[in-house]
Structure 1
Amino acid sequence: MLRWKLLLLGSVWLIPSSWLSSTVAMAVAGILVLLVGIPHGATDHVIFNVLKQRHVKQSVPITFLLGYLGIMLVYLLLWWWQPGLSLIIFLVISAYHFGETQLIRSPKAEVGNQYLYLSWGLFLLAALLLFHIDEVATLLVPLVGVPAFFDWLAQHTVTLLAFAGANLVITWSWQAWRAGDFQFLGWQALEIVVLLLLLWRTPVLVGFALFFALWHSRDATLEQLARFRALQPLITLQQWVKMALPYTLMSLVGIATLIGIWQVYQVAISPVTVFFVGVSLLTMPHILLIYRFYQLPSSVTDPNSMAAAQ
């Protein structure tokens, strides 16, 4: 699994920097998010049925729709009322979600696993944002204001990255020692080095798209398949795609609608920023649902199914 990621890293380093910043690279990044990233969250209705009935079903309960849309509406209002707070909430829960998905199969200590997930995700997001703080400021200052805060981040990039990295190393080493397994830690350390080099080399949007699609979404999809197969062993990847397709299309229509509104009313915000808010609205209920999904008892989430999924 690491081999193709190293190949990807090598390919990116061979590509001229001007190409990585081109419209073509941005288009590829967008396609990856649309075709791989968004579909991994489009089976949430199936996950809801697993949580409620311990059964893999395509049906869409009204309680699922009301809850999902309700969370999106509340979060949209929060974006309108307090965009800065909304951004902080989104980054923190996304960090936890990324770390949890990345390390869900790691050897578990008795306590502290949740903090490890958060530490992993915060370090990754810190690297992504601080490596390209000028780009990030251009995208987010029109949305949340406070340009002085982004100036402060730019001045303390090295310190913040060192703190986030030291926190992850200490937490990870402690957890590996308590769990009695350093082999997994070694492989994951190599993987995060690959990620850091990739994020440093690519523009912020391209780097995030590569991580989101080829790391997070891929791993999350395999994890879903493994857990679905623990309940229904004959489920195939093609069936998973079929289950994800309707809500993938609905999500794309929703994001396109937001961008269309931006064009009609000429809102003084970048369309990339509008896209970011749209994705955050879809992501919030997804993250909350996946957190519950990963808490299912071991009788439902058989670890041996992961091998079959791959």
Structure 2
Amino acid sequence: MNRIENIAKALGIILCLIFMLFFQNNLTVQLALFGVILIAVGIPHGAIDHLISNPKIDQKGLFKFLLIYISMIAGYSAVWYFIPVVALLAFLFMSAYHFGQSHFFNESSLKNYSLLLYVSRGGYFLFAILLGDWEATKLILSPLVNLEYLNNSRLFVLGAFLFSTLLAQNLFGPKFGKKHILELVILGPILYLSPLLIGFVVYFGFWHALPSMMTEYKFLRSFKAYDSFKKFAIQLLPFSLISFVGIGLILFFGLEFLDNTQLILLFFVLISLISFPHIFYMDSFLKKQN
């Protein structure tokens, strides 16, 4: 499975380079690739949270799980509606932690100060994406926050994340390996120079979603009900389809009232809503595995 992950990551790097050189301003092609990766691995990796929580879940347990899951989404929706800036900051923090965690799936148990390592590592790559294609980021987030004051501080912010994640790993472990160095030195700058949508979906898809899905499969295949990839893939379908249809319908009706930039912002809000409970369940699952 490591071979599959490495091939996917190499493909991700190649895609970023292609879009940097040839499709920097072609939004249609960018959206097409964005949709393909999101459908293939992005949303499906979070579609089995109920199974990683309890592989032997019954109908009553599933109902209780869905009630909690939907309540978390509803609560976070209220935060987005009433205090959107707080919701945005919370999403950035949670995403940094969640993404950073996926860089250390195969490491030994990280208990001491893992929060600092995860947030700084995920924050470095997340802000490389956001601060790189700066005009696109400002345009999308302009309905929520004015980012003009950061125009001349982007490299300082990114450098601060890089320094903090190097310091955190040096102090608390794990030992630096070739993979860590290559990601920091090569992936970070490539994401910074890539178009916003491409940098995000490549990193989200190949450095987070795919490794997460493979970790889930490795765990679930020890249970007879999911002991083949076909059985595992079937389990991904129901909630993936629900997410696809739900998000698709909201965006479809939004076409009548919103422009392209507002639609992209709405899309990321919707992604944040389904990510919120997923981050908590995935974090609990990984801690139990360790």
Q: TM-score, normalised by structure 2?
A: 0.89
Unaligned runs of 5+ in 2: none
**Partner deviation per Cα, 1:111-148 (whole Å, 9 max, x = no partner):** 12222111111111111111122111100112x1x32x
Provide the residue aligned with 2:98 in structure 1.
97
Deviation at 1:58, TM superposition (A): 8.8
| Aligned mates of 1:61, 1:40 — CA distance in 2 | 18
**Equivalent residues of 2:38, 2:205 under 8 A apart:** yes
Distance 1:127 1:12, change over 3 A: closer
**Partner deviation per Cα, 1:67-112 (whole Å, 9 max, x = no partner):** 0110111111110101110000011011111111221222345512
Which residue type is aligned with residue 30 of structure 1?
Answer: G
Q: Which moved more, 1:61-70 or 1:6-15?
A: 6-15
Distance 1:14 1:129, change over 3 A: closer
Distance 1:8 1:42, change over 3 A: closer
| Aligned mates of 2:101, 2:160 — CA distance in 1 | 20
Mapped pair 1:217 → 2:209: yes
- Larger RCO: Structure 1 or Structure 2 (Cα < 8 Å, ≥ 6 residues apart)? 2
Deviation at 1:275, TM superposition (A): 0.9
Distance 1:238 1:58, change over 3 A: farther
**Equivalent residues of 2:100, 2:121 under 8 A apart:** yes
Deviation at 1:211, TM superposition (A): 1.1
Which residue type is aligned with residue 255 of structure 1?
Answer: I
Provide the residue aligned with 2:43 in structure 1.
38
| Aligned mates of 1:196, 1:83 — CA distance in 2 | 28
- Partner SS for 1:21: coil
Paired-residue identity, %: 27
Deviation at 1:290, TM superposition (A): 0.8
Which residue type is aligned with residue 239 of structure 2?
Answer: Y
Residue pairs, 1:50-89, within 5 angstroms: 50=55, 55=56, 61-89=62-90
Provide the residue aligned with 2:197 in structure 1.
205
The count of aligned residue pairs is 284
| Aligned mates of 1:212, 1:59 — CA distance in 2 | 33
Provide the residue aligned with 1:303 in structure 2.
none
| Aligned mates of 1:167, 1:155 — CA distance in 2 | 20
**Equivalent residues of 1:56, 1:228 under 8 A apart:** no
Residue of 163, 167, 173 corresponding to 2:164:
167
Provide the residue aligned with 1:305 in structure 2.
none
Which residue type is aligned with residue 134 of structure 1?
Answer: E
Distance 1:203 1:78, change over 3 A: same
| Aligned mates of 2:22, 2:137 — CA distance in 1 | 18
Mapped pair 1:119 → 2:120: yes
**Equivalent residues of 2:120, 2:161 under 8 A apart:** yes
- Partner SS for 2:23: helix
Which residue type is aligned with residue 25 of structure 2?
Answer: S
**Equivalent residues of 2:16, 2:191 under 8 A apart:** no
**Equivalent residues of 1:32, 1:209 under 8 A apart:** yes
Q: Which moved more, 1:16-25 or 1:81-90?
A: 16-25
Residue pairs, 1:248-267, within 5 angstroms: 248-264=240-256, 266-267=257-258
| Aligned mates of 1:206, 1:244 — CA distance in 2 | 24
**Equivalent residues of 1:97, 1:117 under 8 A apart:** yes
Unaligned runs of 5+ in 1: 299-310
Distance 1:88 1:224, change over 3 A: same
